[in-house]
């Protein structure tokens, strides 16, 4: 297993391009199952989660080719064999987002068998809303040997209906993706009430509309889908990753540096930029030319000598994203005063608290709330990455800390940030990827 060795205290300067969004790309890749025609997806990031989705789709009969065109990664997908319909535990256990294939496979192939995702580091994460939504469209669903086994009703197609997707923590992003994708090929009209409003859902709807689906309301809590008989080919560019962009903004802020971000989805990041500005970070969109795509802007992010404490509550979009909670907590460790973060999406998503504390942070957690009392400085230490975003928080803390931080288990980071060490290195960070053996030889404690 690789580790990151980070020397803190370096100023950053330069330009980073925000890559295509992992969380948009995963359901888009799964949507390739909905058509017999070729699908082209541009700007799919090269991440371990994406490679796992490729592997899964390959097992489900999708031929995939990836290449770079004009330096943008381009993925070509085409279903060549529809006989397989089992997403095996082997793959699903490596990546919960495998559940994305359930709706598309059920709608197109009439049946789907998907291993039930287990718990994960950020909490229990049930899929009951996905199943309830598909059942409302007539799917017959059973649980067999740990697998979700789903088939369409006797009529041979799913049947449109009104589906309520609200749960105890709001709507469900991948549940909305599953039901919306399945409903495109259903007979009649489906209305999803309490749909997730995340930009990744809008991106999926745009791709499906480009394939011939009839969808209105994506981005609002009510999505209407009029089923069609078939979907056809598409050439679609994935939206930039708002969580990666927010992480880079925190990197500028925590090192009191100035970074330029290109391909930045500012329009999808209001809650994060609002909090950054309250903390004292400046974000200036660099308007060039007349036609600005609000999801692909250039902006200059400048830190500040003194960071102000703030309150943050994670919420469904357009509220503050849970996927930036750990990164903002790292930043607030160095604010001048007490900040409060309340986690309302994944109540257990606090594994970074203990590791940040090892670096000198002062954080007190009470249930779903953490009080962060700002300290003058963090100190490098050996720490353990536990999940993707918690690990990103540790990288940020390490960039600002005095001395050397060794982050173990960086495979978590590789799930969601492409070549993070090279990209942060290109703007001045001292960050090295080493094998555990090399770390032991150098005498840097790794566990
Ligand atoms: C997506 O997960 C993202 N994953 C997560 O990104 C993100 O944290 C999450 O949305 C919330 O924004 C991908 O897009 C691949 P949910 P998803 O269903 O869709 C509860 C990252 O770091 N719930 O919207 O699986 C659930 O427990 C990650 O990139 C049910 O109760 O999340 C949670 O409390 C990890 N029943 C809330 O809803 C269900 O059937 C929201 O979860 C489904 C969810």
| Distance (Å) from CA 345 to ligand 1 centroid | 8
Question: How confident is the model over 379-416, as pLDDT tens digits?
Answer: 999 999 889 999 999 999 999 999 999 999 999 999 99
pLDDT number for residue 123: 74
167 lines ligand 1 (CB under 6 A): yes
pLDDT number for residue 290: 58
| Distance (Å) from CA 174 to ligand 1 centroid | 7
Question: How confident is the model over 93-152, as pLDDT tens digits?
Answer: 989 999 999 999 999 999 999 999 866 777 778 899 999 999 999 999 999 999 999 999
Q: Are 315 and 85 in contact (CB under 8 A)?
A: no
23 lines ligand 1 (CB under 6 A): yes
pLDDT band at 441 (very low <50, low <70, confident <90, very high): confident
Cut 0.95: pTM above it: yes
Question: How confident is the model over 374-383, as pLDDT tens digits?
Answer: 999 999 999 9
Between CA 382 and CA 389, with CA 384 as vertex, the angle to 5 degrees is: 125
Between CA 266 and CA 274, with CA 269 as vertex, the angle to 5 degrees is: 105
For a ligand 1 pocket test, name from 53, 174, 204, 391 the mutation site with the most ligand atoms within 8 angstroms of its C-beta: 174
pLDDT number for residue 288: 62
- Measured between alpha carbons, how far is 103 from 262 in angstroms, rounded to an integer? 34
pLDDT number for residue 40: 98
- Host H or E run for residue 88: none
Work out the percent of the chain whose per-residue pLDDT is above 70.
98
Question: How confident is the model over 227-259, as pLDDT tens digits?
Answer: 999 999 999 999 999 999 999 999 999 999 999
Question: How confident is the model over 63-103, as pLDDT tens digits?
Answer: 999 999 988 999 999 999 999 999 999 999 989 999 999 99
pLDDT number for residue 375: 98
Q: Does residue 333 carry a catalytic annotation?
A: no
Lowest mean pLDDT among 159-163, 185-189, 290-294: 290-294
| Distance (Å) from CA 1 to ligand 1 centroid | 27
pLDDT number for residue 446: 46
203 lines ligand 1 (CB under 6 A): no
- Measured between alpha carbons, how far is 42 from 20 in angstroms, rounded to an integer? 8
- Host H or E run for residue 375: none
Mean pLDDT of 324-332: 98
Q: Which stretches of 209-279 are assigned E, i.e. beta strand?
A: 214-216, 222-226, 234-237, 258-264
For a ligand 1 pocket test, name from 167, 199, 368 the mutation site with the most ligand atoms within 8 angstroms of its C-beta: 167
- Three-state DSSP state, 159: strand
pLDDT number for residue 447: 47
Phi, psi of 249 (to 5 degrees): -65, -40
Mean pLDDT of 213-223: 98
pLDDT number for residue 117: 84
346 lines ligand 1 (CB under 6 A): yes
Q: Are 103 and 181 in contact (CB under 8 A)?
A: yes
> What are the residue ranges spanned by the domains of the chain?
2-19+240-441, 22-237
- Measured between alpha carbons, how far is 153 from 157 in angstroms, rounded to an integer? 7
What is the position in ligand 1's atom list of the atom closest to the CA of 128? 40
Q: Token pair 């309340």 is at which residue? A: 342
pLDDT number for residue 11: 98
Handedness of CA 196, 277, 351, 27 (dihedral sign): positive
Q: Are 202 and 236 in contact (CB under 8 A)?
A: no
pLDDT number for residue 437: 79
- In this model, does residue 436 exceed pLDDT 90? no
What is the position in ligand 1's atom list of the atom closest to the CA of 317? 12
- In this model, does residue 2 exceed pLDDT 50? yes
- Count other Cβ atoms within 10 Å, centred on residue 167: 14
- Measured between alpha carbons, how far is 73 from 355 in angstroms, rounded to an integer? 35
Task: Domain 22-237: state its class.
Answer: alpha beta
What is the position in ligand 1's atom list of the atom closest to the CA of 177? 19
Work out the percent of the chain whose per-residue pLDDT is above 90.
91
Between CA 283 and CA 292, with CA 288 as vertex, the angle to 5 degrees is: 85
Q: Is 392 left (phi over 0), alpha (psi -120 to 50) or beta?
A: alpha
pLDDT band at 445 (very low <50, low <70, confident <90, very high): low
Range list of H helices, 93-198:
102-109, 128-136, 173-183
391 lines ligand 1 (CB under 6 A): no
pLDDT number for residue 443: 72
pLDDT number for residue 239: 98
In terms of residues, how long is the chain? Answer: 447
Range list of H helices, 309-387:
325-332, 352-358
Question: How confident is the model over 292-304, as pLDDT tens digits?
Answer: 899 999 999 999 9
Mean pLDDT of 200-218: 98
Task: Domain 2-19+240-441: state its class.
Answer: alpha beta
**Average pLDDT of every residue of the chain:** 95
Phi, psi of 159 (to 5 degrees): -125, 125
425 lines ligand 1 (CB under 6 A): no
- In this model, does residue 219 exceed pLDDT 80? yes
CA-based nearest residue to 241, from 433, 98, 13, 46: 46
- Measured between alpha carbons, how far is 364 from 372 in angstroms, rounded to an integer? 7
- In this model, does residue 1 exceed pLDDT 90? no
Q: Are 433 and 6 in contact (CB under 8 A)?
A: no
């Amino acid at each position: 297993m690789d580790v990151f060795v980070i020397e803190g205290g370096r100023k950053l300067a330069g330009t980073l391009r925000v890559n295509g969004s992992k969380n948009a790309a995963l359901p888009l890749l799964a949507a390739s199952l909905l058509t017999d025609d070729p699908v082209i997806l541009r700007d799919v990031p090269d991440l371990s989660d994406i490679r796992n989705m490729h592997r899964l789709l390959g097992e489900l009969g999708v031929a995939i080719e990836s290449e770079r065109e004009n330096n943008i990664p381009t993925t070509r997908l085409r279903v060549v064999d529809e006989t397989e319909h089992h997403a095996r535990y082997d793959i699903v256990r490596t990546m919960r987002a495998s559940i994305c294939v359930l709706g598309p496979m059920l709608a197109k192939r009439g049946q789907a068998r998907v291993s039930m995702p287990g718990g994960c580091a950020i909490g229990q994460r049930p899929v009951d809303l996905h199943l309830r939504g598909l059942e409302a469209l007539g799917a017959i669903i059973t649980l067999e040997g740990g697998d979700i086994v789903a088939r369409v009703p006797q009529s041979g197609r799913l049947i449109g209906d009104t589906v309520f997707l609200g749960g105890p923590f709001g709507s469900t992003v991948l549940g909305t993706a599953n039901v919306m994708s399945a409903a495109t090929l259903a007979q009649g009209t489906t209305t999803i009430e309490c749909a997730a409003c995340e930009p990744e859902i809008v991106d999926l709807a745009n791709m499906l509309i480009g394939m011939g689906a009839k969808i209105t309301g994506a981005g609002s809590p009510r999505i209407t889908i009029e089923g069609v008989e078939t979907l056809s080919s598409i050439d679609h560019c994935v939206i930039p990753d708002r969580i990666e962009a927010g992480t880079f903004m925190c990197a500028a802020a925590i090192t009191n540096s100035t970074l330029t971000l290109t391909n930045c989805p500012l329009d999808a990041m209001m809650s994060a930029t609002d909090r950054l500005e309250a903390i004292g970070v400046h974000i200036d969109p660099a308007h060039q030319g007349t036609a600005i795509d609000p999801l692909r802007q250039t902006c200059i992010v400048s830190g500040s000598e003194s960071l102000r404490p703030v309150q943050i509550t994670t919420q469904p979009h357009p509220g503050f994203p849970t996927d930036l909670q750990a990164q903002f907590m790292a930043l607030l460790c160095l604010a001048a005063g007490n900040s409060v973060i309340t986690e309302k999406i994944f109540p257990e998503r606090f594994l970074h608290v203990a590791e940040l504390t090892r670096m000198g942070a002062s954080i007190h957690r009470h249930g779903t709330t953490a009080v962060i009392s700002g300290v003058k400085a963090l100190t490098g230490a050996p720490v353990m990455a536990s999940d993707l975003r918690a690990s990103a928080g540790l990288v940020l803390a390490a960039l600002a800390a005095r001395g050397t931080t060794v982050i173990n288990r960086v495979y978590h980071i590789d799930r969601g940030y492409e070549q993070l060490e090279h990209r942060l290195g290109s703007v001045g960070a001292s960050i090295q990827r080493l094998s555990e053996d090399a770390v032991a030889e150098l005498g840097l404690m790794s566990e």
